[in-house]
Structure 1
Amino acid sequence: MDLLPDLWRQDYWLPPGVTWGDMEQLADSERPRPQDLLIALPLALGFIAVRYVFERFFAPPIGRCLGVKNRLQVAAASSPHLESFYTQRSRQPTQSEIVSLMLSSGKTRRQIESWFRRRRNQDRPSQTKKFGEAAWRFFFYLTAFMVGLACLINRPWFWDHRECWRQYPVQPMERAHFWYYMLELGFYVSLLLRISVDIKRKDFKEQVIHHLATIFLLSFSYCANYIRIGTLVMLLHDSSDILLESAKMFNYGTGWRKTCDSLFVVFTVVFLVTRLVIFPSKIIRTTLLLSMEVFEPFAGYYLFNLLLMVLQALHVFWAGLILRMVYKFLKGKLEKDERSDEESEAEEEEEDKGGEADCYWGKSQETLNSKLSMLTTSCVLNNLTHHRSSVADRMRKAQ
């Protein structure tokens, strides 16, 4: 019963010497209230609906203009026994499981491995789906960045970060910043709600952690009136996300390799500068050090900085993936997103060669069998002919 009142204790949320009564100096429209966060849920549902319409009706025509085409895939042959194993146990059977499947299905090892490769390729997301997801994020990040830049570029804390803490926390909230916050919060809630049906990548767990940390960070910073520094964090992240999604869009199209490579180079530079240089040296330094010029540390101060540290750890993780892509790019081997969780192109080629090999081996077997059959027939006929001639000679001699 006492948990909820304890949660809103002013020494958790406000610096020492500041009370909730001091916050009442602001008008209701200028003061962030926890119940305002409920607006994010209908906004998230609205984003999901808009995204469905966008990916259904707008993304495909844009993709066709960029030459996005789905790959032709060879369907796996119907096999209820292997299908049951694939759906209920594992998509990639071990060697011992393959031996067991050979005994139960009557297929060879190569046939079973080829069947599972083709079956996994059937579940791969199509190029159209991947393009639609990248295009949706691109248009949102571009819109959010333009809106955020428009409502922040004339604000004093955009240029002087000490202004983020002047008279904190009794700082009036502008309606433009309120809606900027709510739209970003609603968008990340929609990503979290859709993450189970979106394209699953290798950093799936990191993506879940990122979305949860971002949602919690936005919610906490809003309630604690960290809105000024929070808007800077959102603007900084959106700047590189625009380039990432645009590079993906051109990567899924045909004939845009140079454009994709150029965008990838620009994205790499912007990401490394914004996430590994500006974010720790400006944002985290501002929240850790410059804020202490105005107030003493309190519980909200430690929690807010802890969440920023989690984001920074994710930045380092993704920077490692990006640098791997840069290494492959410089060697001329970059083919796809390092986070991709799809079947490799080498596996597809192996599948095609394996299919050809199986087909060739089948034809060879048929040819060999036919030759053996002809040879056997010829031997039998020769034996019969020889036997007849010998019988005829014996009869003539007997006569």
Structure 2
Amino acid sequence: MEALVNDWLWRDEYWLPPGVHWRDMEDVEGGDRFPRPRDLLFTLPLAFAFMALRYVFERLVAVPFSKYLGVKDQVRVRAASIPKLETFYKQRSRQPSQSDVASLGKQCGLSQRKIQTWFRHRRNQDRPSNTKKFCEASWRFVFYLLSFTAGLGSLINTPWLWNHRDCWRGFPKQPVAEAHYWYYFLEMGFYLSLLMSVSVDVKRKDFKEQVIHHIATIFLLGFSYCANYVRVGTLVMLVHDSSDFLLESAKMFHYAGWTRLCDSLFVVFALVFLFTRLVVFPFRVVHTTLVLSSEFFQPFFGYYFFNALLLVLQALHVFWAYLILRMVYKFVFLGKVERDERSDAESEVDDNDEEEPEEDGDECSWEQRKGAINSKLASLANNCVLNNLTHQRNINSRMPKAR
């Protein structure tokens, strides 16, 4: 199996510049460390270790800290225990059609309205609490902050941080420092743990984009390590970590209800994100891999594959930048950021379901419906009057009667 993989997957001409072979990059005993593809197997136990550490962190640190900041969970009505409805909910659909509602009503002896109310309560019951979302955000905040600090400390004195041509001098026979080795594998293990736990984490509006981002990041880090694009890879990780911890901190204070601090952190995050992802990343990092690298070697398959992954990340950056600019526009011109526009807003279709009071009978009486309709019409009329009084100062004498 190893010989087959080496012959078909790790062929020299695929991943290395012409004239360079894998044997040229083997470690010398007592000498420098060079990347080896089999080192990637270490990321799997590292991912499980991150998941175990997260479990401990959330319960011993994040939960008490959420209580200290005043994170409050919404009290939701629990759905009654009805086995037939529970089976349908778990095995078929969380959003039953009208025909399904009618069929379930006949099977359970309940009105269609009570069936719909049960499913609404059941969906709301599965929605993640603010404490769960706070714990997830705090875990990512701690990792991104430590990763950015450690990465910056390990790169501050490297020549390729300031002169990107040094990323390619001597490529690919470039030894990997111990600090950069652990920087790489901790990042890969962390993103692999995020991908493995994506099914139990809070499902967000950009869920598909997040999965694509995690997969592209893992492939990018894994391939760049094997082909010894480590110097460029460290720059990519540093650029990403520089804004991620700001977003997670804004989420934490959003769940705690600290609105002003949350919005201030979000504005800082938006500025850092737009600068690093739309300026630094494409015009410095991608330009380095696409243009400057050609001064040192001829393009080969690994060159195109690596740059394709970088362009996938840049496409995701443009998508997220569009969402962020929409939020910044609402914050600046409307004075607030809509909750469903934030990147942590869930994609559940019933997020805005309002709790409706239970009915005593199977059908509402005509008097109750009439009173509710009259109340809504009166509220609408009052809103129209207030709007006219606010925006129309000069009206003729017949306008009051008409109104």
TM-score using structure 2 length: 0.83
Q: Which residue of 1 aligns with 2:280?
A: 278
- What corresponds to 2:34 in structure 1? 31
Tell whether the 8 Å contact from 1:114 to 1:355 is kept in structure 2 after alignment: no
Supply the distance in 2 between the matched residues of 1:327 and 1:80 (Cα, whole angstroms). 47
- Measured after TM superposition, the shift of residue 146 of structure 1 is 0.3
TM-superposition CA deviations, 1:339-364 (whole Å, max 9, x none): 422465531xx22xx216x3699997
Distance 1:111 1:326, change over 3 A: farther
Task: Identify the residue that residue 318 of structure 1 maps to in structure 2.
Answer: 320
CA 1:344 to 1:94, structure 2 compared with 1: closer, same or farther past 3 Å?
closer
1:56-75 → structure 2 map (5 Å cutoff)? 56-75=59-78
Which one is further off, 8-17 or 67-76?
8-17
- Is 1:246 the counterpart of 2:249 in the alignment? yes
Displacement of 1:225: 0.6
1:149 is the counterpart of 2:152: yes
Asked if the contact 2:253–2:262 (Cα under 8 Å) also holds between the matched residues in 1, the reply is yes
Q: State the shift of 1:18 in Å.
A: 2.5
Query: 8 Å contact 1:124–1:343 — kept in the other structure?
Result: no
How far 1:270 sits from its partner (Å)? 1.4
Distance (whole Å) between structure 2 residues aligned to residue 178 and residue 224 of structure 1: 14
Q: Which residue does the alignment assign to 2:222?
A: 219
Asked if the contact 1:152/1:158 (under 8 Å) is kept, the reply is yes
User: Equivalent residue of 1:237, what SS?
Assistant: helix
Q: Return the match for 1:166 from 166, 169, 172.
A: 169
Which of residues 17, 20, 44 is equivalent to 2:19?
Answer: 17
User: CA offsets per residue over residues 145-189 of structure 1, 9 Å max, x none?
Assistant: 000000001111101111111111111211110111111111111
The separation in 2 between residues aligned to 1:80 and 1:71, in whole angstroms, is 26
Query: Would the aligned equivalents of 2:79 and 2:121 in 1 still touch at CA under 8 Å?
Result: yes
Q: Deviations over 1:113-170 (max 9, x none)?
A: 2211111010011111111110000000000000000000111110111111111111
Partner of 1:95: 98
The separation in 2 between residues aligned to 1:283 and 1:194, in whole angstroms, is 30
Equivalent of 2:187 in 184, 189, 199: 184
Matched residue, 2:264: 262
**Which residue in the other structure is 1:393 paired with?**
none
| Alpha-carbon contact 1:51-1:136 (below 8 Å) kept | yes
**Is the 1:26–1:172 contact (alpha carbons within 8 Å) kept by the matching residues of 2?**
no
The CA deviation at 1:275 is 1.3
CA shift for structure 1 position 3: 4.9
Deviations 1:90-134 (A, max 9, x none): 111122222323333333333222211111010011111111110
Larger Rg: 1
Q: Which has the higher helix share?
A: 1
The one-letter code of the counterpart of 2:338 is L
C-alpha distance in 2, partners of 1:21/1:160? Answer: 29
CA 1:359–1:266: 2 relative to 1, 3 Å: farther
61-70 or 138-147, which moves further after superposition?
A: 61-70
Q: Distance in 1 between matches of 2:329 and 2:119?
A: 31
Gaps of 5+ in 1: 368-399
Q: What's the CA shift for 1:25?
A: 8.3
Q: Per-residue CA shift, 1:351-399, capped at 9, x if unaligned?
A: 2xx216x36999979x9xxxxxxxxxxxxxxxxxxxxxxxxxxxxxxxx
Q: Hey, what's the Cα distance between the residues in 2 that align with 1:340 and 1:26?
A: 51
Are 1:334 and 2:338 an aligned pair? yes
CA distance in 2, matches of 1:360, 1:69: 34
Tell me the C-alpha RMSD between the 2 structures. 2.4
Query: Aligned partner of 2:347: which letter?
Result: D
Relative distance call for 1:200 and 1:362 in structure 2 (3 A) is same
What is the rounded CA distance, in whole Å, between the counterparts of 2:143 and 2:27 in structure 1?
A: 35
What is the match of residue 383 of structure 2? none
Equivalent position amino acid for 2:175 in 1: P
Residue 399 of structure 2 corresponds to: none
Q: In the alignment, which residue of structure 2 is the partner of 1:52?
A: 55
User: Post-superposition shift, 1:271?
Assistant: 1.3
Secondary structure of 1:168's aligned partner: coil
Gaps of 5+ in 2: 369-403
Return the TM-score normalized by structure 1: 0.84
1:308 equivalent to 2:310? Answer yes
1:30 aligns to what SS in structure 2?
A: coil
Task: Note the alpha carbon deviations across 1:213-263, whole angstroms, 9 max, x for none.
Answer: 111111110111100000000010011110110011001103x10000111
- 1:205 matches 2:186: no
Q: Distance in 2 between matches of 1:324 and 1:117?
A: 30
Change in CA separation of 1:81 and 1:295 when aligned onto 2, cut-off 3 Å: same
Alpha-carbon distance in structure 2 between the residues aligned to 1:72 and 1:364:
29
* 2:115 alignment counterpart: 112
> What is the CA–CA distance in structure 2 between the aligned matches of 1:180 and 1:146, rounded to whole Å?
11
After TM superposition, list the pairs within 5 Å mapping 1:352-367 onto structure 2: 354-355=356-357, 358=359
Tell me if the contact between 1:44 and 1:190 (Cα under 8 Å) persists in the aligned partners.
Answer: yes
Give the 3-state SS of the residue equivalent to 1:355 in structure 2: coil
State the alpha-carbon separation in 2 of the partners of residues 168 and 189 from structure 1. Answer: 27
Cα shift at 1:308 = 0.7
Aligned-residue offset at 1:77: 2.3
